[in-house]
């Protein structure tokens, strides 16, 4: 057993692999997979560790993609860009911007590796534009026998459909080709609003904005809404001081301190949330899309997120509010609610249905298990699908009921990895 230790960003899981490697290119990834097969070891490629589950953990060979981090090519005519698996999303955004291009939609954190984010189903919020995997049009992968394969809607479409959100179960993804669009500006409007008003106006809010989301402050009736819409400009970004004040000092440093106090004295949480939610003021600005979509989040936490049918959003949030108050839980983080259109990615949490994403966070080190279990029951009751990279207790048997293509994905896995070279405990639980 090696002394090398890898752990998730939140500290939820650790790995003690037999050996580690940082391959410099696809050929070296293939050589590592072949060597692992000869030694009877399993293989996982890690990312930035931003998953809260043990999806990347292995006791065999742990591959790090730090050297797989370049933009391979851009095709303006086709509207595509091909990128190495290990490039961070924030760096990919900047590279695309230099070419006058952008992703149509993004999540709210951009420090993950491109492959890690896509493989676990990372998403943002959008009326028409879906999660990252729905923007992928091609994959380069190393399969269990060490072969390098390409897949797309035209080339091995079943592998493509299964592996876009593939959890690393179908092979080591070494490069991804994205559909990209000309760079664009977003006008961001952030505004406090009562929770009940948001819930009553949800159809309007969703339909009238390109990207709508809101944050509900537990133990209060208050939210902060965010409406991001494509605009011709001109760009009017936040001033350096305003960005530092709101997004660094208040949202990270002060929030960190507040959560440390609340972890020690949970009874303070309701009062703190009331003050925090009432201290918010409306703001608006216009900036490059990727700077509006993503923000810096330095405060460590654990998270559970479920994708529920969008029509159940209001009832689910009201029931979550009831459970939290009835059971006396204390949630110092806002509950985040985002939306996505239906997509055709087999293991996407938005597969074939309009989706609302409801995310519950707890400060790192605070007891969360009992609260998450109770809230998970609420989310599961309406057919919720767990985010693959966030905490949940679902098993393969549970997921068969809500993921229609789980069986088809399993058949592809039997074909490309019959000996389960890329398996681990998490994949055994969720994929069987």
- Predicted local distance difference test score (pLDDT) of residue 250: 83
Q: Which two tokens stand for residue 404?
A: 């229609």
- Predicted local distance difference test score (pLDDT) of residue 326: 97
Q: Which two tokens stand for residue 209?
A: 């904005």
Q: Which two tokens stand for residue 407?
A: 């069986």
- Predicted local distance difference test score (pLDDT) of residue 247: 85
DSSP 104: S
Could you tell me the pLDDT band of residue 2, with boundaries at 50, 70 and 90? very low
Q: Where are the beta strands (DSSP E) in 168-272?
A: 172-179, 181-182, 185-194, 211-216, 222-231
> What b/e readout covers 121-154, taking b as 16+ CB neighbours within 10 angstroms?
bbbbbbbebbbbbbbbbbbbbbbbbbebbebeee
Compute CA distances 129 → 95, 133, 164, 167, whole Å: 21, 11, 16, 22
The pairing of beta strand 385-386 with beta strand 301-309: antiparallel
Mean pLDDT of 160-164: 98
Residue 3: pLDDT over 60: no
User: How far, in Å, CA of 326 to CA of 240, rounded?
Assistant: 43
Other C-beta atoms closer than 10 Å to the C-beta of 326 total 9
Where do we find the tokens 């592998």?
A: 159
pLDDT digits (tens, 9 = 90+) for 89-144: 999 999 999 999 999 999 999 999 999 999 999 999 999 999 999 999 999 999 99
pLDDT digits (tens, 9 = 90+) for 178-207: 999 999 999 999 999 999 999 999 999 999
- Predicted local distance difference test score (pLDDT) of residue 1: 41
User: How far, in Å, CA of 430 to CA of 418, rounded?
Assistant: 17
pLDDT digits (tens, 9 = 90+) for 377-398: 999 999 999 999 999 999 999 9
- Predicted local distance difference test score (pLDDT) of residue 4: 55
Residue 46 C-beta-side C-alpha neighbours within 13 Å: 30
User: Angle formed by the axes of helices 313-327 and 369-380, to 10°?
Assistant: 150
Specify the higher pLDDT residue, 402 or 2.
402
Q: Which two tokens stand for residue 138?
A: 């091609």
Q: Which two tokens stand for residue 308?
A: 């529920």
Query: Three-state DSSP class for 69?
Result: coil
Query: Three-state DSSP class for 61?
Result: strand
Mean pLDDT of 253-272: 94
The pairing of beta strand 211-216 with beta strand 335-340: antiparallel
Average pLDDT of the chain, as a whole number: 96
Residue 155: pLDDT over 50: yes
- Predicted local distance difference test score (pLDDT) of residue 188: 98
Q: Where are the beta strands (DSSP E) in 315-364?
A: 335-340, 355-363
> Please, are residues 169 and 417 in contact by the beta-carbon 8 Å criterion?
yes
């Amino acid at each position: 057993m090696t002394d090398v230790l890898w752990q998730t960003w939140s500290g939820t899981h650790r790995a003690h692999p037999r050996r580690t490697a940082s391959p410099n290119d696809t050929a070296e990834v293939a050589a590592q997979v072949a060597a692992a097969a000869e030694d009877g070891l399993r293989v996982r490629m890690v990312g930035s560790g931003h998953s809260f589950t043990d999806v990347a953990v292995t006791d065999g060979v742990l591959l790090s993609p730090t050297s797989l981090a370049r933009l391979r090519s851009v095709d303006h005519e086709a509207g595509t860009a091909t990128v190495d698996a290990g490039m961070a999303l924030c760096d990919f955004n900047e590279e695309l911007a230099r070419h006058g291009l952008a992703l149509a939609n993004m999540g709210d954190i951009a420090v993950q590796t491109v492959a890690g984010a896509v493989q676990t189903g990372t998403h943002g919020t959008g009326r028409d534009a879906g999660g990252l995997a729905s923007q992928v049009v091609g994959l380069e992968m190393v399969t269990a026998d060490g072969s390098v394969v390409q897949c797309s809607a035209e080339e091995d479409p079943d592998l493509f459909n299964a592996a876009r959100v593939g959890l690393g179960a179908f092979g080591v993804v070494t490069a991804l080709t994205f559909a990209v669009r000309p760079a664009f500006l977003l006008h961001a409007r952030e505004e406090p609003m009562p929770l009940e008003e948001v819930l009553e106006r949800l159809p309007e809010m969703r339909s009238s904005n390109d990207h709508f989301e809101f944050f509900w402050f537990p133990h209060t009736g208050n939210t902060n809404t965010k409406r991001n819409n494509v605009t011709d400009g001109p760009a009017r970004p936040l001033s350096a001081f305003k960005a530092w004040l709101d997004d660094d000092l208040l949202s990270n440093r002060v929030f960190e301190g507040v959560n440390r106090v609340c972890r020690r004295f949970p009874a303070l949480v309701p009062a703190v949330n009331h003050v925090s939610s009432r201290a918010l003021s409306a703001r608006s600005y216009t900036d490059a899309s990727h700077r509006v979509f993503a923000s810096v989040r330095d405060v460590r936490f654990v998270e559970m997120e479920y994708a529920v049918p969008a029509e159940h959003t209001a009832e689910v949030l009201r029931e979550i509010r009831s459970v939290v108050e009835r059971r006396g839980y204390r949630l110092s983080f806002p509950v985040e609610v985002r939306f996505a259109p239906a997509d055709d990615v087999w293991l996407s949490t938005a597969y074939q249905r309009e989706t609302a994403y409801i995310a519950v966070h707890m400060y790192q080190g605070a007891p969360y298990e009992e609260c998450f279990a109770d809230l998970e029951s609420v989310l599961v009751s309406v057919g919720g699908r767990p985010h693959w990279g966030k905490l949940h207790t679902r098993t393969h048997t549970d997921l068969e009921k809500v993921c229609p293509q789980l069986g088809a994905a399993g058949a592809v896995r039997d074909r490309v990895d019959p000996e389960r070279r890329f398996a681990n405990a998490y994949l055994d639980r969720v994929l069987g």
